[in-house]
Amino acid sequence: MSETIIEIKEIKRNFALGAETVYVLKGVDLEIAKGDYVALMGPSGSGKSTLMNILGCLDTPSSGSYVLNGKDVSKMNDGELAEIRNKEIGFVFQTFNLLPRTTALDNVALPMIYSGKSKSERNKRAEEVLTQVGLSDRMDHQPNQLSGGQRQRVAIARALVNHPSIILADEPTGNLDTKTSVEIMALFDEIHRKGNTVILVTHEEDIAEHAHRIIRLRDGVVESDVRQK
């Protein structure tokens, strides 16, 4: 039996909009096992972005519980959530979110500053993950000297650098051409094979097909949860 890494129960998220309340998530239950490879899908307004923000500890639910790697994060304050994000979650965004005038090496090493590692330790680990994603010859390049695919590889290396419990990728191929998208998804497949838990948020069926499990949201609830591999 695989160890459960994410367990959410009766997660609801409401937003006040003037005098009205908008009910975005309406009671989501979800378990994700360690080493799983999940695609989270749903049309605009389905609640998938809100759920991703909660899974990534970027937002807290209005009610319900969220246990991540044995810790109940649904009641944590902002400081505690920031620490969990740094230690437990590696983020990959559609827009890369790299510091523009900073080398690939320093971009990747950045999350380790908050974990108290020395500069030599940070650089050594950053070099390891940049080599893992195929950028050993681009470490001293700044983002504007890299292609879109290379920038996303830097972002993936940064996501891996702190040995996170989960990799959370939000539309990771959204800004890339088809050939580069295939290369980036092959990299995610390899990361998963090495034992990482991967959660992809995507609206593209061909990207979701890489995952072993597809969870579809509609109108704030889980519409289907299908294991395909």
User: What confidence tens digit (pLDDT) does each residue in 147-171 have?
Assistant: 999 999 999 999 999 999 899 999 9
Question: Which band of pLDDT confidence, cut at 50, 70 and 90, is reported for residue 114?
Answer: confident
86-107: pLDDT as tens digits:
889 999 988 889 999 999 999 9
Phi, psi for residue 65 in degrees, rounded to 5: -125, 150
pLDDT value at residue 95: 86
Is 90 exceeded by the pLDDT of residue 117?
A: no
> Which residue is it, tokens 């998530």?
25
Share of the chain above pLDDT 70, in %: 99
Q: Which two tokens stand for residue 212?
A: 């072993």
Question: Which band of pLDDT confidence, cut at 50, 70 and 90, is reported for residue 75?
Answer: confident
Indicate the burial class of 164 (C-beta count within 10 angstroms; 0-12, 13-18, 19 or more). buried
Edge to edge, what strands does the sheet with 63-68 contain? 20-33, 4-17, 63-68, 71-72
Query: Span 189-199, mean pLDDT?
Result: 94
Is 70 exceeded by the pLDDT of residue 229?
A: no
Strands of 34-88, DSSP E: 37-41, 63-68, 71-72
CA angle 177, 94, 185 (to 5 degrees): 55
Query: Span 11-15, mean pLDDT?
Result: 95
Distance CA 166, CA 25 (A): 22
> Which residue is it, tokens 């504007």?
144
| Domain 36-59+77-227, classified CATH 3.30.530.20, yes or no | no
Is 80 exceeded by the pLDDT of residue 2?
A: no
* Helix/strand/coil for 15: strand
Is 60 exceeded by the pLDDT of residue 1?
A: no
pLDDT value at residue 113: 87
Query: Span 119-128, mean pLDDT?
Result: 95
Q: Which amino acid is at 187?
A: L
> Which residue is it, tokens 């590696």?
90
pLDDT value at residue 31: 96
pLDDT value at residue 150: 95
Residue spans per domain, the chain: 36-59+77-227
